[in-house]
């Protein structure tokens, strides 16, 4: 059970604005063997999606502090995410798993007051698909 909780925590922290990777933790657990692959997928997807929800909440409720030095999203990253979001709309949230733009994108969704249920559905779908791809790739490489 500790492995699933660790993967959940890794996914959660990786989805916030901290520069972490839960993919390596997932691949390590797959390589170690003895774990239910469906539960690994679920723990990673749930943790990563809930971490993105933290970004949404920060964007929704904390944007007024964006000009402070300690603010977790840089101006250029927020601008880039905002352009992406305006260009592709709410459906861009399916791509919230992307490096560099994904976390600021979830933050921008909160700032733009995207409906939270829609946000969670789109983000979870994208993140779940990404973790499935990681699992399939790891299995393919393992032979």
| Domain that includes residue 107, residue range | 2-142
Once rounded to an integer, what is the mean pLDDT over residues 63-78?
A: 74
Query: What is d(CA 62, CA 78) in angstroms, rounded to the nearest whole number?
Result: 13
pTM score, whole prediction:
0.87
Nearest partner of 110 among 50, 67, 52, 57, judged by Cα: 57
Percentage of residues in the chain with pLDDT exceeding 90? Answer: 57
63 or 57: which carries more pLDDT confidence? 57
Residue 105 pLDDT exceeds 90:
no
Q: How many domains does the chain have?
A: 1
């Amino acid at each position: 059970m500790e492995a699933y909780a660790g993967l959940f925590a890794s996914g959660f922290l990786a989805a916030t604005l901290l520069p972490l990777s839960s993919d390596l933790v997932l691949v390590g657990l797959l390589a170690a063997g003895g774990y239910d692959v469906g539960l690994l997928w679920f723990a990673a997807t749930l943790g990563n999606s809930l971490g993105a929800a933290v970004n949404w909440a920060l964007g929704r409720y904390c944007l007024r502090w964006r000009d402070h030095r300690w603010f977790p999203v840089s101006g250029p990253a927020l601008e880039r995410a905002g352009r992406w979001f305006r260009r592709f709309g709410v459906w861009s949230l399916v791509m919230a798993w992307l490096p560099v733009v994904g976390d600021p994108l979830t933050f921008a969704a909160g700032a733009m007051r995207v409906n939270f249920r829609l946000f969670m559905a789109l983000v979870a779908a994208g993140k779940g698909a990404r973790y499935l791809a990681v699992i399939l790739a790891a299995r393919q490489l393992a032979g």
